[in-house]
Amino acid sequence: MLTVGPATFTRWSGFYFGGNISVGSATSDFSTATRPLVQFSLQHTTVESSDHPSDFQVLGRGSAVAAGGGAFLGYNTQWQDLVLGIEATYTHVNLNTTASSVPNGVGRFFPDVNTAVNGTANGNLDLTDYGTARGRAGYVVGNHLPYGFIGMAVGRASCSVNTASLVQQTSNNITQTFLFTNGAGQTNALHEAPGTGDTKPQCAGHQSTASKVNARVTPF
């Protein structure tokens, strides 16, 4: 009589933990970050009311690549070849993205009010820590475990935006020059919805103004 032994499979259930070394990249979009600050600086001025120089795109994108390190902890349950689990990770990194206006700034003359406006700015977003929580599902293939996951991420970043607006107004052949400066900065939590790579910190500004910077963080 031929007997068949019990089915065997590689065991993946239980707790696991470890460390990681990674390289990640980040891009930050500052293209609209200066608008509320310039609006606040030029409030009640004729040129802002009629021509809206605060709509100038003074800044563009910033990017950075940096190494990071951290740890992970997870737990798996297994039904023969099907493995389900949860996992949490933490990574410390220094992804420092900056954007600056061109040296001479962005300027325009508005003939309807005989006023010229020139804007300069700089922006910075520095991501220092982030963590993830996710669920995993895999299927055992020999000694390998291909798997997929879905989850969310949170992080910590400091954000700052500073602007300077030079206004020259001509009336009766007399030119008056005014310099308006403004800035905003804050350390905030970042959050990422499942299935996206976009994190959105808010840089709080003066008197409820706020500069939004959209950031994308991508581990390699």
pLDDT for the residue numbered 69: 93
Token reading at 8: 């065997």
The answer to whether residue 149 scores a pLDDT higher than 80 is yes
**pLDDT digit string, tens, across residues 102-148:** 888 899 999 989 999 999 999 999 999 999 999 999 999 988 899 99
Distance CA 181, CA 120 (A): 10
Per-position DSSP letters for 164-207, written without gaps between them: EEEEEEEETTEEEEEEEEEEEEEEEEEEE-TT--EE--EEE-GG
Distance CA 204, CA 200 (A): 13
pLDDT for the residue numbered 176: 82
The answer to whether residue 205 scores a pLDDT higher than 50 is no
pTM (two decimals): 0.72
Selected residue with higher pLDDT from 168 and 193: 168
In angstroms, the Cα distances linking 54 to 29, 36, 45, 150, 162 are: 17, 7, 12, 40, 13
